[in-house]
A and B are shown apart, each in its own frame.
Chain A
């Protein structure tokens, strides 16, 4: 029993429930099934991106270019859809994923082969990919009436009164859960992040895993590129600007250690849900706008403190080398 109570994921889940109840008291309209379903829909893209970011963070790296990647993939397929509205929506989704993956592979190659530090690489591609959006779009927007109906319809499909976006996030959750917990790929990622030297000694090819982790991050950024433009039915140079920080904070809140090798898929999803909940709840309660940013930061910090204090890292440094 004590073990369950001290479980990080359980504590995070409790924090989410407490916030939900507190907001419910402040504004009962926020806790109706319809409203909860809105929050889940709104958080789905964040969940998908946080899960793919987790793969990268597990190997002691970070992908700062996800939001720019998302935006560039989204803009490219939006521009294509204005020229070829007759193409089926699956074509656009696949294309968006392919573009995203290529952009991700480029990150991976730069880090693994060219040995450019991941921060430098992804900080660079963050600007490059964003800059390319201006280049391809000429600074113009794609408006909602320029998309084909087919392009926008998929996002509004509902199943059991929950949105397509939500179910897609569930699928991604299951896929990544299996990938990280039940495949050799997943185990090797954890060991690479946990102890890179040992991992190399047992024959894990670090470069291969770096490139694969970044391509997966790119793949999901590409997927979210479609989801983002279809959901808001507008593609501009400003798509998802700054969203990479939201994604990374979702991972950190979810207990994914930036030191690598530690963190659960469930924790990551809960982290994203907590951030998504805060982003949606604060506008719905009567708190001065000027306080909201500070409050949201305080809640995130508090969640991390409670979360990390309750569970120590299993491995401890016994001896520090001189």
Chain B
């Protein structure tokens, strides 16, 4: 009798674990072979291991088009996966296939690059505008000290995201702890390397006491760092902003940049898989106002339009640049 009881218990336990192992989450990326997404897949695997009993299917098309992604998703629907987390090549073109998947009972979320509201449960942005803006000012303070002149080297003057970040930087800069940091200029390098470089040289001449440049663009930050090195201003002018570690590695080594940031693709993949699991199990609905525990990333709260932002941008400096330069 006792033996039978144990047998039942163990078979129930076994059944449970078998059920859990059946959870299959597809991590669909814009295109295969892109460093950023390979890193995201690594994060997704990490989340799967941590949750336990989850299989991550890392997939995506060879060409970064919406059509190719639709084919991929069609095959995933046929395979009856439990959840699809996608970084979309086209916000609107993927909405109907996302809806089709949801109609078949598959949990669909978008991450990194979202799809329109009707095609997914929720969307996870890498970071939010306010966070990016305030982080840039903090990195500038950490790089140049809390006293002196700094300037912004942006992309084009009409770039929506850059301008929104600069607005947020203004709010952060208005705080008392930055009172001795003087914002002297905002210039635009149009995301062209040579123009950004010339703008950086112009800043040095216009503001001989300049101590820092914030470039919230991956082109501008490299151009500014190169200009600092070429002009022999390493140690006098510090560059920060948003950039890729692989592109910035040499400039961190040279000392032109002390620290800079960007959203971490590993964390992004990790969060995408974690959230998919939480919603697919039915523990959470992924609707506005909900805060979903996401493992080591803490809680991710969902805002208007079922949009959520991951976390602070990830910071890179001399201590971790080598490791991340290998990744993205």
A238 touches B223 (CB 8 A): no
A232 touches B193 (CB 8 A): yes
Q: Known contacts being A232-B193, A233-B226, A289-B157, is A282 close to B202, with CB within 8 Å?
A: yes
Q: Known contacts being A144-B226, A242-B192, A280-B198, is A234 close to B205, with CB within 8 Å?
A: no
Closest-CB distance, A277 to chain B (whole angstroms): 12
Other-chain residue from B192, B206, B219, B247 in contact with A283 (beta carbon distance below 8 A): B206
A286, B206: Cα distance in complex, Å = 7
Q: Taking CB as reference atom, which chain A residue is nearest B202? A: A283
List B residues at the A interface (Cβ < 8 Å).
33, 157, 186-188, 191-194, 197-199, 201-203, 205-206, 208, 219, 222-223, 226, 231, 246-247, 249-251, 253, 325
Whether a CB of chain B sits under 8 angstroms from the CB of A98 is: no
Whether a CB of chain B sits under 8 angstroms from the CB of A137 is: no
Inter-chain contact count A-B, CB under 8 Å? 70
From 133 to 157 in chain A, residues with beta carbon under 8 angstroms from any chain B beta carbon are 138, 141, 143-145
List A residues at the B interface (Cβ < 8 Å).
27, 29-30, 35, 38, 42, 138, 141, 143-145, 232-234, 236, 238-243, 279-280, 282-286, 289-290
Residues of A within 8 A of B186 (CB): 289
Most A CB contacts (10 A, CB to CB) among B199, B202, B208, B253 go to B202
A290 touches B157 (CB 8 A): yes
Most A CB contacts (10 A, CB to CB) among B33, B191, B193, B325 go to B193
Other-chain residue from B188, B194, B205 in contact with A289 (beta carbon distance below 8 A): B188
A145, B208: Cα distance in complex, Å = 29
Q: Taking CB as reference atom, which chain A residue is nearest B193? A: A232
**Other A-B pairs, 10, CB within 8 Å; known A35-B205, A144-B250:** A138-B33, A145-B325, A232-B193, A232-B223, A233-B226, A283-B201, A283-B206, A289-B186, A289-B187, A290-B157
Residues of A within 8 A of B231 (CB): 38
Residues of B within 8 A of A138 (CB): 33
A240, B192: Cα distance in complex, Å = 8
Other-chain residue from A29, A143, A239 in contact with B250 (beta carbon distance below 8 A): A143
Residues of B within 8 A of A232 (CB): 193-194, 197, 223, 226
A238 touches B206 (CB 8 A): no
B202 touches A236 (CB 8 A): no
A284, B197: Cα distance in complex, Å = 12
Closest 6 CB pairs of A and B: A283-B202, A145-B250, A284-B205, A144-B250, A284-B202, A29-B205
Closest-CB distance, B234 to chain A (whole angstroms): 14
Residues of B within 8 A of A283 (CB): 187, 198-199, 201-203, 205-206
Q: Taking CB as reference atom, which chain B residue is nearest A283? A: B202
B201 touches A27 (CB 8 A): no
| Complex A-B: 24 CB contacts under 8 Å | A30-B205, A38-B231, A42-B198, A42-B201, A141-B247, A143-B247, A143-B250, A144-B222, A144-B251, A145-B253, A232-B193, A232-B197, A233-B226, A234-B247, A238-B191, A238-B219, A239-B193, A280-B202, A283-B199, A284-B201, A284-B202, A284-B205, A286-B206, A289-B157
Q: Known contacts being A141-B247, A143-B246, A143-B250, is A38 close to B206, with CB within 8 Å?
A: no
Closest-CB distance, A120 to chain B (whole angstroms): 26
